[in-house]
Amino acid sequence: MAGLAFTARPRKPGANGKPGQRVTQAVLIGIAVLFLGIFIVLPLAIVFSMALSQGWAAYVDALVEPDAISAIKLTLLTAAITVPANMIFGLLAAWAITKFEFRGKSFLITLIDLPFSVSPVISGLVFVLLFGLQGWFGPWLQEHDLKVVFAVPGIVLATMFVTFPFVARELIPIMQEQGTEEEEAAFTLGASGWQTFWRVTLPNVKWALLYGVLLCNARAMGEFGAVSVVSGHIRGHTNTMPLHVEILYNEYNFVAAFAVASLLALLAIVTLILKSVLEWKLARDRKQPIVHTA
């Protein structure tokens, strides 16, 4: 985001323009930095300072406490299921949408975007309405002694729903740009569909795919609203990390709350760094499309 402020810099280095321009520039950069400081850096700093306010021992205790461990495990489990599932789905959807022509294509694109436009709370509620006791499949599930809502499957389903557009959304534009000629070339050279996918299509989109997976993972681990509705908040059983933070906070256990929150914050920071690296790689890949001139 800081990069945005710097685009105000004149194109030619050294030619700094009129004094008036320089003032405008300084003011704009100042506002951006101040804004970022107050709304992003400060809260982040507070998370860590609160987490460590009673020393490292208290911090570590809060993290190794059984309920916290269980919340971390559940979060990792959820991500471990939803991210690969959505990666495969996203690849398939992007492949179908960009490499083939079929009826209902734009409808499918809209459908993929749906989770972005629906409030996460509604997304969670949908699953309660479907699989809850009063829901459509509720009686049937109860007869067979299956629990979806207020149990791990519900959390996974809700997370999957919410994170479902990330990979596909990342891949569709880049695959559209690349067209189908390379795949056709592979076919004429005798490659099977499978070989073409592994050797041509996938390597061409690998950075975009990783980027989508990264965003998908960040959201899967951090999702609160949808998961909160379906979880039932059973400590040690159906609490993910964000839910666990909320419970601890509501119990005025600030150190523990911020300790767990700091893990999520760390995840965010790592995600941001990886994201920058991937963006750089992606930009580099896009800069080398085959230019159609001699």
Partner 1 sequence: MRIEVVGVSRQFGEFKALKDVSLTIQSGELVALLGPSGSGKTTLLRVIAGLDWADAGDIKFDGVSASTRSVGERHVGFVFQHYALFRHMTVFDNVAFGLRVRPRKERYSNAEIEARVNELLQLVQIDWLADRMPAQLSGGQRQRVALARALAIEPRVLLLDEPFGALDAKVRKELRRWLRRLHEQLGMTSVFVTHDQEEALELADRVVVMNKGRIEQIDTPGQLYDNPSTPFVSRFLGDSNELDCHVAAGSVLLPGLDTSALPRVSVPNGPAKLYARPHDIAISAAEDGEACVRFISAVGANIRIEAELPDGRVVELTRTREEQAEDPVAVGARVGLRLYRAQVYPAG
How many angstroms separate the CA atoms of 138 and 111, rounded? 26
Selected binder of partner 1 within 151, 152, 191, 268 (CB under 8 A): 191
Is residue 204 at the binding interface for partner 1, with CB under 8 A as the rule? yes
Owner of token pair 């509705």: 229
Residue 121 makes CB contacts below 8 A (sequence gap 6+) with 225, 226, 228, 229
Query: With respect to partner 1, which residue has the nearer C-beta, 20 or 190?
Result: 190
Is residue 106 at the binding interface for partner 1, with CB under 8 A as the rule? no
How many angstroms separate the CA atoms of 213 and 170, rounded? 9
Selected binder of partner 1 within 199, 234, 235, 272 (CB under 8 A): 199
For residues 74 and 232, is the Cβ–Cβ distance under 8 A?
A: no
Selected binder of partner 1 within 1, 15, 57, 294 (CB under 8 A): 294
- Phi and psi at 253, nearest 5°, equal -90, 75
Taking the complex as a whole, how short is the minimal distance between the CB of residue 195 and partner 1, in angstroms?
Answer: 5
For residues 63 and 263, is the Cβ–Cβ distance under 8 A?
A: yes
How many angstroms separate the Cα of 99 from the Cα of each of 80, 89, 105, 182, 198?
A: 29, 15, 11, 11, 15
Taking the complex as a whole, how short is the minimal distance between the CB of residue 285 and partner 1, in angstroms?
Answer: 8
Q: Which of the ranges 122-130, 135-143, 198-206, 210-218 carries the binding residues for partner 1, by CB under 8 A?
A: 198-206
Q: Which of the ranges 44-52, 60-68, 214-222, 286-294 carries the binding residues for partner 1, by CB under 8 A?
A: 286-294
Taking the complex as a whole, how short is the minimal distance between the CB of residue 112 and partner 1, in angstroms?
Answer: 25
Taking the complex as a whole, how short is the minimal distance between the CB of residue 103 and partner 1, in angstroms?
Answer: 12
Q: Which of the ranges 68-76, 193-201, 251-259, 268-276 carries the binding residues for partner 1, by CB under 8 A?
A: 193-201
Is residue 104 at the binding interface for partner 1, with CB under 8 A as the rule? no
Residue 259 makes CB contacts below 8 A (sequence gap 6+) with 51, 58, 59, 62, 63, 68
Taking the complex as a whole, how short is the minimal distance between the CB of residue 120 and partner 1, in angstroms?
Answer: 37
Nearest to 263 by CA among 63, 87, 125: 63
Taking the complex as a whole, how short is the minimal distance between the CB of residue 187 and partner 1, in angstroms?
Answer: 4
Segment 161 to 190, residues that bind partner 1, using CB under 8 A: 181-182, 184-190
Owner of token pair 């919340």: 71
- Site residues (vs partner 1, CB under 8 A): 181-182, 184-192, 195, 199-200, 203-204, 288-294
